[in-house]
Amino acid sequence: MAEPRPAHAAEAPGPGASPGRAEAARRLISLVDLTSLTGEETDSELDALCARATTPAGPVAAVCVYGDKVGRVRASLPASAVRIAAVANFPEGDADPARAREESAAAVAAGADEIDVVLPWRAWLARDHGAALAVVEAARAQAPVLKVILESGALGETVNVAAAAKACLAAGADFVKTSTGFAKGGATVADVALMRRTVGAELGVKASGGVKGLADARQMVEAGATRIGASVGVKIAQEAAAGMNTRTASTNAY
**CATH code assigned at 66:** 3.20.20.70
Per-residue model confidence (pLDDT) at position 245: 59
Please state, in angstroms and as integers, the Cα–Cα distance from residue 241 to each residue in 17, 61, 77, 85, following that order.
16, 16, 21, 24
Residue 123 covered by a domain = yes
Q: Is 207 helix (H, G, I), strand (E, B) or coil?
A: strand
Confidence at residue 231, expressed as pLDDT on a 0 to 100 scale: 82
- Report the DSSP pairing between strands 58-59 and 54-55: antiparallel
37, part of any domain? yes
Number of domains in the chain: 1
Domain of 169 in residue numbering reads as 30-252
| Rounded Cα–Cα distance for residues 220 and 11 (Å) | 17
pLDDT of residue 145: 98
User: Residue 233: its pLDDT value, please?
Assistant: 76
Nearest to 236 by CA among 19, 106, 52: 52
Q: What are phi and psi of 139, to 5 degrees?
A: -70, -40
Distance CA 108, CA 8 (A): 18
The pLDDT of residue 11 is: 39
What's at 42, amino acid-wise?
T
* Residue 95 belongs to a domain: yes
8 A C-beta contact, residue 43 and residue 238: no
CA distances in angstroms from 41 to 44, 65, 69, 92, listed in the order given: 8, 9, 8, 20
The answer to the question of residue 88 being in a domain is yes
List, by residue number, the catalytic residues: 116, 177, 206
Q: Which pLDDT does position 253 carry in this prediction?
A: 29
Specify if 19 maps to a domain: no
Rounded to whole angstroms, the Cα distance separating 76 from 167 reads 36
Residue 9 resides in a domain: no
User: Alpha-carbon torsion 60, 61, 65, 71, what sign?
Assistant: positive
Q: What is the pLDDT of residue 161?
A: 98
pLDDT in tens, the chain (254 residues): 233 335 664 433 333 334 477 788 889 999 999 999 999 999 999 999 999 999 888 899 999 999 999 999 999 998 889 999 999 999 999 999 999 999 999 999 999 999 999 999 999 999 999 999 999 999 999 999 999 999 999 999 999 999 999 999 999 999 999 999 999 888 999 999 999 999 999 999 999 998 999 999 999 999 999 999 988 877 887 787 776 654 433 322 22
Q: Is residue 128 part of a domain?
A: yes
Rg of the chain taking only CA atoms, in angstroms: 18
Specify the DSSP class assigned to residue 45. Answer: H
Q: Which of 119, 117, 121, 120 is nearest to 105 (CA)?
A: 117
Q: Which segments within the chain are labelled E, that is strand? A: 32-35, 54-55, 58-59, 62-66, 83-88, 114-118, 146-149, 175-177, 204-208, 227-230
Q: Work out the number of other CB atoms within 10 angstroms of the CB of residue 170.
A: 10
125 domain residue, yes or no = yes
pLDDT reported for residue 78: 84
* pTM: predicted TM-score of the whole model, two decimal places: 0.89
